[in-house]
Every structure is written in structure tokens, then in C-alpha cells.
Structure 1
Amino acid sequence: MALFILRRLLQSLFVLLAVSVVVFCAVYAVGDPIELLVSPEASPADRQAMIIRLGLDLPLWQQYTHFLWNALHGDLGNSFVQGVPALDMILQRMPATFELVAVAIAMTCLFGIPLGLVAGLYRDTPLGRTIMGTSVLGFSLPNFWQGMMLILMFAVWLGWLPASGRGDTVSVFGVPFSFLTRDGWAHMIMPAINLALANVALVLRMTASGVAEAQSQEYVKFARAKGVRPGRIVSRHILSNILIPVVTVIGMEMGHLIAYSTITETVFAWPGMGKLLIDSVYQLDRPVVVAYVMFVTLLFVVINLIVDILYAVLDPRVRLLAPAN
């Protein structure tokens, strides 16, 4: 286990290095932030002073080496627009995104696994076919369109829920949380549903497929022949075996939601990291964009490592390292 973790950490360092090169070159090759930061009436001397202050007068390779050296010391640069550390801006928005993703993942588990279990156990009945047919909508509907329809229905027509913002928060150890207030839940429920719908459909169909396959296995048939109660067969023999790929997918989707919640956060004006990324792209705030991508890549690496370890814990037959020859 220790050797596996060490090997994955070394691989992760190479991944982070490769991502930093690609993202840095791609972001710094697009647009000129000076055009947005400096007034058109500014003198050439003022423009040049701003270029030098931001380090944009240096060659690209030298800008990257400075960025890499500072990143190794925990400094991902300062925002061109706000003038504050980019990492601080991301960390300030992180609780809002994590809270939204946590609720979306909880909805995915709460609805996706039970519905998939029912659809798999009763796949040849009208109920099972209805659940599987409806799940197709989760993959088919565009995320931004879902969000707008939710706002139109529940905020505009019915007036039940607020259309945007985070609502009231309660600070715990200096970190604001929305789920601790009723108003916060009212603001959170629509964006969380919008994030969760596609994942509910994915987990539902994976669970249903796993249940259908497990029912044809010999150990399930043998349990039935012994007279084991159907509920115990489902919980002990079927569910415990299909949870391995489901947990893997949920872990991967957690990282996916954190990284790509930008559309949902923009539609609902949720003040999270995704909204910060979109605003930074519009403003050509290069350090914030690069810092965001690096931070999210690190999260993906950590989440994938945790998922691999959980995979081995859930199924002792899985070995993290191949046996030596």
C-alpha cells in the first residue's frame, strides 16, 4: 500500500508539471490583459510601467520559471485585477463550491442507487422500464438549459425558490456555510439539483446494470436455492458487489463536479470557484485562471488516489500492486 501511494504521488508530480506547462502557455498566449487593466487615455509610460509591474515584459519561458519557482513555495501569483494572491481568492470561494458539490453528491447517492436498484430488480416491469427511460433525460438535457428551466419554473412561475445567490450563511471556524440556514437551503436546492441530475442518471444506470448482471451470478442463484431471504440477498450479495464500480464513478464525478461546476454557478450566480473562473477568463486575469486549473488538478489527483484506496478496501480481491514475478 505504501509503495503504491508513493508511486502515485510521483506520477502526480509529473501530471501537475505537465498541466502547468500546457495551461500556462495556453492562457498566456491568449489576449492582452493590459488592454483591460489600463485606461485607453493612459500614456505609453504608464502602460509600460504596468507591463513591467506584472512581469509581462519578460519572455514566456522566464515568466513560467518564475511562476514555477513561486508555486513550489506556495505562491501561485497575484490577481491582475484584484491585486491579491490568486490562491486566496480561490480558497475564499472554495467552501461555496464544495458545499454545493457535497449536496449534489448526496442527492446522487440518495436517488441514483435506490432507483437503480429498483430498476435492476424489476427491469422487465413497467416500473423498471419507466425509471430507465426517464434516466435518459439526465444525459440528454443541456446543463445550462436545465438550470434556466428550473429558474423559470420554481423562481418565476411558482415563486417558491430564489433564482440566484447563496443566501444567508453561518460561519463555523471562520468558514461560511449555507446549509445551516433555511434561506441558504432555499438558494442551494436548485443549483444542487442541476448539478446532480446527470450524475443521478449515470449512477442509476450503472447500478441497474450491475444488479441485472449480479442476479445471473452463481452465488446469487445458490443463495436463493438455500432459501436466503430476498432482502438479505439484495443487501449482502448484490449491493455489496455492485458498490465497487459505483463508488469509483461517484468519486470521479465528485472531482468532475468541482472542476466543471462553472455553468451551474454562472446560471445561478452561485459565488463559487467556477463563477470566479468565468469572471477571470472574461477579465483575462491570467494568474487566477492558472491557479484555478492547478488547484483543481491537484484535487483530481487526491480524489483519484482516495478512490483507488477505497476500491481495494471494498474488495479485498483487488490488489493495488501486481504480485512480483
Structure 2
Amino acid sequence: MLIFLLRRLIQACVVMAIISLISFAIQDKLGDPVQQMVGMSVSVEERNALREELGLNDSLLTQYGRFLQNALQGDLGTSYYYKEPVLDVIFDKVPATLELAFCAILLVVLIATPLGVLAAINPKHWVSRILMVITSIGLSIPIFIVAILMMYLFSIEWNLAPSFGRGQTTEVFGLWHSGLFNQDGLSHLLLPSLSLAIALMPIFTRLIRAEMMEVLQSEYIRFAWSKGLSSNRIYFIHALKNTMLPIITIGGIQAGTLVAYTILTETIFQWPGMGFLFMDAVSRVDTPLISAYLIVVGGMFVVTNTIVDLIYGLVNPTVRLASHGL
């Protein structure tokens, strides 16, 4: 386990170094930040002075060296628009995005798991066939179409839930603000989290069905039936447990992808999270904020994948993490 963690740490450092290089390299392709920071009446001399002050006239190698040195000290720069350290700006939005992602994943687990098990137990039943058709359609529909449709139906037509904003939040232990602990916050969370969940449910439902159908044909399941174990115990303990390894693999990847999905969802629902902040930073050419966002999201991917590998050992002790070479 120690060897595995050491390997993962080295890989994480390499991956983060590559991400930092890419995120810094694209800054020069996003436009002139000085033009976004000052008005049309500002003279060319003042613009050049501001560029010199920001270090934009230095060579890219010099700028990257300065950026990397500061990053190792926890300083990814200062936002051109907010005039604050970019990490402070991003971390202020992280709770909203994590809250949204958590609720979406919770809905996926609570809905996709029983649907996948049901479809695996009775694959030829008409309900299972209809479910497979629905999931096929769901895989083909882009998430922004789902979000717009949800907004139109639940907010405009039926007036059941708010269509934008985070609503009222409650301070939790003096550390962050959450909308999970009051009715107004939950009502605002309903549509964006449900939109994200609908985008992920089809793949998880079909994956659970396929894996469980394979497990149900194995010898040890037949032996469990011959011992006279109850169907619930066979389906939900013996069979479902042994389908979790590939589910965790896909789940870890999708959990990271969920951060990318939130960009569209948060923009449509005006949810004040990291995705909405990123789109705002792009429109303002706030390059330090854009670079920091890419690095933070890359770090989330690395951490998520490491956690997934560690969970392998908990679900299936026969997995030898140290021998993976990952």
C-alpha cells in the first residue's frame, strides 16, 4: 500500500506539472487582459505601463518560471477582475459546486442502482425493455438540452421550482454556506442537480445491468441459490457487491467529468459555482483565474482517481494495489 501511494504521489506531481504548463500556455491565446481591464479612454502609455506592472512583457519562459515558483508556494496569482488571490475566489465557489455534484451523485445512486438491478433480474420483462430504450435515448441527449427542458417544464410551465440562483444558504460550522439545510436552498438545488443526475443515470443503469447479469450467471451465485438463500440476499449482497468494482471505476471517472458538466449546468441555471465562475473568467479574459481553475479541476481528477484506487482494496481485498504500477 505504501509503495502504491508513493507511485501515485509521483504520478500526481507529474500530471499536475503538465496541467500547469498547459493552463499557463493557453493564457497567451485568450486575448489581451489589459484591454479587458481598462477603458477605451486609457492611453497607450498607460496600457504599456500596466502590462509592465503585470509582467506581461516578459518572455513566456520567464513568466512560467515566476508562475511555477509562486504556485509551489500556494500562490496562483491575483484575479484581474476581483483583485483577490485566485484561489480565494475559486474556493469561495467550491462549496456550491460540490453541493451540486453531491446531490447529483446521490440521485444517481438512489435511482440508477435499483433500476439497473431490476433490469438485470428480469431482462426480458417489458419494464426492463422500456427502461433500456429510455436509457438509450438519455445517452443521446446533450445535458444542456435536458437542463433547458427541465427549466421550461418545472419553472415556466408548472412553476414548481426556481430556475436560477442558489437561494438562501445556511452557515455550517462557521466554515461554509450551504443550501441543503433550508427549504429555499433545496428548491433552488432541485433542477440543476436533477439535470446533472439525468445526464449520468443512463450509463450507470446500463452498466449495473450488464455487470449484474454477468455475475448472476457465475457459479457462486448458483451455489448460493442451492443453499436456499433468500433472493434479496443473493441479489443485493452477493451479486450487487461483486458488480461494484467496474462501477467504481466508471464512477470515479464520471465524478471527475461531473465538474466539466457543471460548467453548462451552472451557466444555464446561473448557479454560483466554479463552472459559472470559469465562464465569467473566460468572458473577462481573467487569465490567472482561468489557469487556476484548470489546475484546481485537474487536482480534483487526480485526487478522485487515487481515492477510487484505494476503494478497490475495500470492495475487493484480493486486488493488489501495489502491483498495479499505477
Q: Percent identity?
A: 36
Deviations 1:205-242 (A, max 9, x none): 11100111011111111221232221111123201100
Q: Which stretches of structure 1, 4 residues or longer, exceed 6 Å deviation after superposition?
A: none
Which whole-Å CA distance do the structure 2 matches of 1:53 and 1:140 have between them? 49
1:229 has 2:233 as partner: no
Question: For residues 1-325 of structure 1, what are the structure 2 equivalents within 5 Å?
Answer: 1-172=1-172, 173-322=174-323
Shift of 1:97: 0.2
Q: Contact 2:196–2:261 at 8 Å: present in 1 too?
A: no
Q: Which amino acid aligns with 1:148?
A: I
Q: TM-score, normalised by structure 2?
A: 0.96
Which whole-Å CA distance do the structure 2 matches of 1:127 and 1:178 have between them? 36
Q: TM-score, normalised by structure 1?
A: 0.97
Which whole-Å CA distance do the structure 2 matches of 1:15 and 1:75 have between them? 19
Which whole-Å CA distance do the structure 1 matches of 2:260 and 2:69 have between them? 25
- Alignment gaps of 5+ in structure 1: none
Which whole-Å CA distance do the structure 2 matches of 1:142 and 1:259 have between them? 13
- CA distance 1:133–1:314, shift in 2 (3 Å): same
Shift of 1:258: 2.2
Deviations 1:147-169 (A, max 9, x none): 11111111111111111000000
Which whole-Å CA distance do the structure 2 matches of 1:131 and 1:125 have between them? 10
Higher mean displacement: 23-32 or 1-10 = 23-32
Q: Contact 1:262–1:273 at 8 Å: present in 2 too?
A: yes
Higher mean displacement: 43-52 or 98-107 = 43-52
Deviations 1:151-197 (A, max 9, x none): 11111111111110000000112311011110111100000011111
Q: How many residues align?
A: 324
Deviations 1:34-93 (A, max 9, x none): 221121211122111211122111111111111100000000000111211111100000
Q: Contact 1:179–1:185 at 8 Å: present in 2 too?
A: yes
- CA distance 1:291–1:323, shift in 2 (3 Å): closer
Q: Contact 2:147–2:265 at 8 Å: present in 1 too?
A: yes
Which whole-Å CA distance do the structure 1 matches of 2:14 and 2:313 have between them? 24
Which whole-Å CA distance do the structure 1 matches of 2:27 and 2:138 have between them? 33
Which whole-Å CA distance do the structure 1 matches of 2:286 and 2:238 have between them? 53
- CA distance 1:193–1:306, shift in 2 (3 Å): same
- Alignment gaps of 5+ in structure 2: none
- CA distance 1:43–1:143, shift in 2 (3 Å): same
